[in-house]
Structure 1
Amino acid sequence: MAPGFCKDCSLLLQELNLHLRKVFREFEQKVKDIFRELSRCTCFRITRERRTEEALSLYDDETQLLHQESLQTLSRLATSENTDLQMTAAMFYLHLSHHLKSPLPDALVEPVMALLLSTEPEVQNAISLSLVNLLVKNNVSKELVIEMGMLVPILELFQSGDATAQCHSCACVTMLASSETNREAVMLEGIMPLLALAKSYDPQVQQIATWALLHLTQSNWSTRLLCQAGGIPVLVLLLPSSDTEVQFYSCTALCNIAAVQEHHPKLLDIGSHFLLKSLLTLVSSSVQKNSSQACRCLQTLSENVLIQEQLMELDCVLPLLVLLKTPSPVGTESAVTLLSALSAHTPNNDVLVSEGLLEEIGQLLHHTSSSVIISHSCKIITDLCSSSLGLQAVMESQCVSGLLRALMSPGLSEETVLHVTSCLRPLMTCDPLKSLLSVTITSEQVSRLVKLSGQIQNPQLSYNSAAVISKLEMTGEMFQLLRPHYIPVLEYLSGFLKEKDVKFQQLGIATIFNLQKDGDFSSLLADSEAEAQLWKVHAQTEETRRLLQMIQPLSPSSVNPRL
């Protein structure tokens, strides 16, 4: 109570307050009773419906949704010829779509159909947005919406001329198409209107229509129908759109289409290489997800040799090298993946080398720990080293030191390390590269190779790593690097000599021959298990040679009767 009153006055005021509250409650109840009686008269029917709807729009108790009186009133509002009452019902659904946390009862779905058929644009906008919300939150079964015939009025909203209604209807179609069981119905009825809306001059309508088309490329069946209906030219023409979301949706849809080779002829039918030119332009986009998606689409297309040739004719390497330098790992991964696909086609290699790809790959390996980038970089180096021009470019670049650095990258998977060693091993067969690696390698990298050579659980990784060690040039500096590791080296060599696979035995012998140039190694080898295994291999070889001498030399025709 306010200050300044004595205790007795304060008590009197409190009693007055309580009395007034009681009077107001009684008055409120009397008013409700009077209006309840009045509302039973037909002359007050519309007023009653409006007031009932206002109560419905404030309903938060989901347990009351199936109340028979509420359902009847809502149905009457939805089917009324009075657009104000229709709007009331539509607003109820809009309110419901934001607050409902459980599935909408089937009985409450029925009035939606009547509201979709309304001639009032505001009613259509409100109810279509409500339906989008309910579908997004899975409050309404997509199959039920189709079964109740709502697809037809939803598609008719495409032609309404109202951008808001078109956007909402497109969103509805997209959600309905996300269900595999509905996709056929949506495709048969909705594909042509969607393609028409994708050509809209309204950016928002175009964006949502393209989004809907993207969802229709998520199965082979619907993709085929979309292509048959002329969807490819529409999507290709959307690539240069000024709206970055439209660019992304259309590019992703085309990427899905390109995954099926039967569609490639239609993709290439568009004149003057328009598709490839548009994708290459998108590769240079400042929007990272768009440039990456364009790379993925080109990579999928590049499985077609004809498309690869066209890409090379369009000077595709330069924009890819620019993207290769981007600070974003996603962009770099997309670019290196596409360049890896291009390097697999031998006729492209001289161009890739002359454009400076190996120089960029060498620098990239010094600044990345991405398994994707390292793996594809190894593949590019291996592919391009198939020519003398490529070998020379590797020597002049930082590829060798980059590979050794990648070997030390923390957290790399065993598969990625295998890619690195598989790339290093053949490089060691070239004397200039062997010399370069021998003077570049560090003690930490030698230690890493020795450890990997002992990975008996992964024989190929072990073999690759040991093969690099076996080819190192045994100089005084190299002996200094290897001496701390002679004991583990002897351990894995002993294991190699026990292998039944001859290539492991041969590698073990070659390594021992190379390392014996160091007296310290020879001393440790004496009387070791490795030496014992070496003598066993020698004895087996001698026995094999003796047995072969007992047989007359075989002519080629007796060895291979087909000759």
Structure 2
Amino acid sequence: RSRNGLYEPLLQENEREAVADLLQFLENRTETNFFEGDPLRALSTLAFSDNVDLQRSAALAFAEITEKDVKAVDRDTLEPVLFLLQSHDVEVQRAASAALGNLAVNTDNKLLIVKLGGLEPLIRQMLSPNVEVQCNAVGCITNLATHDENKTKIAKSGALVPLTRLARSKDMRVQRNATGALLNMTHSDENRQQLVNAGAIPVLVSLLSSPDTDVQYYCTTALSNIAVDSANRKKLAQTEPKLVNALIGLMDSTSLKVQCQAALALRNLASDERYQLEIVRSRGLTPLLRLLQSTFLPLILSSVACIRNISIHPLNESPIIDAGFLDPLIDLLAYEENEEIQCHAISTLRNLAASSERNKKAIVEAGAVERVCSLVLNVPLSVQSEMTACVAVLALSDDLKPRLLQLGALYVLIPLTDSQSVEVQGNSAAAIGNLSSKIQSYQPFIS
């Protein structure tokens, strides 16, 4: 008997049995675990068949099952799905990538999918002309990219160029998945560099004007992360002249998370002098002031961190004061729920006092010293350090020294020279030294 005579009918019989078994298992799906034993054998038989209709049935069954039941699975479950992913049939591709995307929600599965070579067929599917296939493949890569161990592998796999291209898709689901995946790739220096090399910056900037708030959020956050690196800020400054205006516009978004990320992106850009000036020139202070006066902690934190960086530039000191920032900044000194907000607020006041007598006087007249004196002995060390540094700067003004002494600055500074923090000790001693320099009467220091 010929080999074919034995083999072919057996395989077809096998497939017939698998179809019958699968139908029975699907009828009792609530009690069936499809990821092991006979149910998995039936699915695998259909998946590895040469018959496209049977492959479709297997792929659709995998997609349907994994939509409702996601758990850590082993190689025996993933291999038939990955095999189906390499089919030339669009329906099989679509359902298999949907199943894989569902399984990729589980942390263990994320690692195993990449380990078993899942990236290569997913990249091929991203290049498919079929939007559904694109959407599922990108969605799966987005899920895989949330695991830190996968990020570098994805960055080096060749996925970033097609992801960047699909971020411009006319289909909003594809665009959303692609920008989400790009965002997931911005959490390490090396991957950010790969992303920049793949041409992602102009795409991310252009999508800041997307009508979809999720896309706006992903792109704003990705650009914020990219702007952490000084080389990238330089590149952004050279190639993206509309970036600052776009981010300032997003601080007026209807979405709180977009507003928040826009302020954080501006904060990171404002690590550089050119951006510190550009944000003020582009009328960024008004929306920042509004966010600063919000009742929502993340908005307050992102805006006060941004204004702190902007206030570093001497040319920005007066515009910030004239825009009405002093009172809200002084109010934030007492924001006990968040030490970081207190630190940013007092550090901004110190920056604003740095280079002008007029500004020092405005800060004192706004009540900053009274607020510092009432708070400084009971705030965390990091805030104490910033507060004493601010008083030391204000105490450089000969005209203001009598006023600072009158407000009781000395009474809080003296005990702080005995602080457990060397910084607080040093700043307090410097402030006392500045207060005592060129003063007409030393009475306050000896009484």
TM-score of Structure 1 vs Structure 2, range by shorter chain: 0.7 to 0.9
- The alpha-carbon distance between structure 1 residues 291 and 185, as it changes in their structure 2 partners (threshold 3 A), is closer
Return 5+ residue gaps in structure 2 as ranges.
Answer: 1-8
- The alpha-carbon distance between structure 1 residues 331 and 105, as it changes in their structure 2 partners (threshold 3 A), is closer
Counterpart of 2:387 in structure 1 is: 420
- The alpha-carbon distance between structure 1 residues 365 and 301, as it changes in their structure 2 partners (threshold 3 A), is same
Q: Does 2:99 match 1:99?
A: no
Letter of the structure 1 residue corresponding to residue 142 of structure 2: T
CA distance in 2, matches of 1:447, 1:204: 62
Alignment counterpart, residue 151 of structure 1, candidates 99, 111, 119: 119
* Structure 1 residue 407: Cα displacement: 2.5
Counterpart of 1:74 in structure 2 is: 43
| Contact 2:300/2:341 (<8 A) preserved | yes
* Structure 1 residue 124: Cα displacement: 3.2
CA distance in 2, matches of 1:167, 1:119: 17
Counterpart of 1:294 in structure 2 is: 262
CA distance in 1, matches of 2:191, 2:228: 14
Q: Does 2:278 match 1:310?
A: yes
- The alpha-carbon distance between structure 1 residues 118 and 470, as it changes in their structure 2 partners (threshold 3 A), is closer
Counterpart of 2:3 in structure 1 is: none
CA distance in 2, matches of 1:107, 1:341: 54
Alignment counterpart, residue 280 of structure 1, candidates 227, 248, 262: 248
Letter of the structure 2 residue corresponding to residue 114 of structure 1: F
Counterpart of 1:350 in structure 2 is: 318
- The alpha-carbon distance between structure 1 residues 316 and 105, as it changes in their structure 2 partners (threshold 3 A), is closer
Q: Does 2:429 match 1:461?
A: no
Matches within 5 A, 1:381-392: 381-385=349-353, 386-392=355-361
TM-score (structure 1 length as normaliser): 0.67
CA distance in 1, matches of 2:110, 2:366: 60
Letter of the structure 1 residue corresponding to residue 383 of structure 2: T
CA distance in 2, matches of 1:447, 1:288: 43
Q: CA RMSD in A?
A: 3.6
| Contact 2:66/2:102 (<8 A) preserved | no
Counterpart of 1:18 in structure 2 is: none
CA distance in 1, matches of 2:301, 2:182: 27
Alignment counterpart, residue 174 of structure 1, candidates 124, 128, 142: 142
Counterpart of 1:19 in structure 2 is: none
CA distance in 2, matches of 1:469, 1:224: 48
Q: CA offsets per residue over residues 483-529 of structure 1, 9 Å max, x none?
A: xxxxxxxxxxxxxxxxxxxxxxx99xx99963655xxxxxxxxxxxx
Matches within 5 A, 1:254-273: 254-270=223-239, 273=241
Counterpart of 2:103 in structure 1 is: 134
SS of equivalent residue, structure 1 residue 189:
coil
SS of equivalent residue, structure 2 residue 239:
coil
Matches within 5 A, 1:437-456: 437-438=404-405, 440=407, 452=416, 454-455=418-419
CA distance in 1, matches of 2:10, 2:407: 99
- The alpha-carbon distance between structure 1 residues 233 and 422, as it changes in their structure 2 partners (threshold 3 A), is same
CA distance in 2, matches of 1:454, 1:219: 41
User: Equivalent pairs: percent with the same residue?
Assistant: 29
- The alpha-carbon distance between structure 1 residues 49 and 460, as it changes in their structure 2 partners (threshold 3 A), is closer
* Structure 1 residue 363: Cα displacement: 4.0
* Structure 1 residue 387: Cα displacement: 0.7
CA distance in 2, matches of 1:448, 1:391: 20
CA distance in 2, matches of 1:230, 1:311: 25
Matches within 5 A, 1:478-489: none
Q: CA offsets per residue over residues 85-133 of structure 1, 9 Å max, x none?
A: 334323443425743544x232332211332234555543332222122
Alignment counterpart, residue 402 of structure 1, candidates 365, 371, 392: 371
Alignment counterpart, residue 163 of structure 2, candidates 194, 198, 211: 194
| Contact 2:277/2:310 (<8 A) preserved | no
Counterpart of 1:340 in structure 2 is: 308
CA distance in 1, matches of 2:237, 2:41: 58
* Structure 1 residue 200: Cα displacement: 1.4
| Contact 1:378/1:420 (<8 A) preserved | yes
| Contact 1:326/1:332 (<8 A) preserved | yes
Alignment counterpart, residue 204 of structure 2, candidates 221, 228, 235: 235
CA distance in 2, matches of 1:289, 1:265: 26
| Contact 1:66/1:105 (<8 A) preserved | no
Q: Does 2:19 match 1:50?
A: yes
Counterpart of 2:444 in structure 1 is: 514
TM-score (structure 2 length as normaliser): 0.82
What is the aligned residue count? Answer: 432
Matches within 5 A, 1:505-544: 514=444, 516-517=446-447
Quick one: higher RCO (CA 8 Å, sep 6+), 1 or 2? 2
Letter of the structure 2 residue corresponding to residue 264 of structure 1: R
Letter of the structure 1 residue corresponding to residue 180 of structure 2: W
Q: CA offsets per residue over residues 63-87 of structure 1, 9 Å max, x none?
A: x9554x6555333211335555334
* Structure 1 residue 197: Cα displacement: 1.3
Counterpart of 1:330 in structure 2 is: 298
Q: Does 2:338 match 1:370?
A: yes
* Structure 1 residue 228: Cα displacement: 2.1
- The alpha-carbon distance between structure 1 residues 439 and 370, as it changes in their structure 2 partners (threshold 3 A), is farther
CA distance in 2, matches of 1:105, 1:59: 21
Q: CA offsets per residue over residues 152-207 of structure 1, 9 Å max, x none?
A: 33223334455443332112223444454663455443222212211112222111
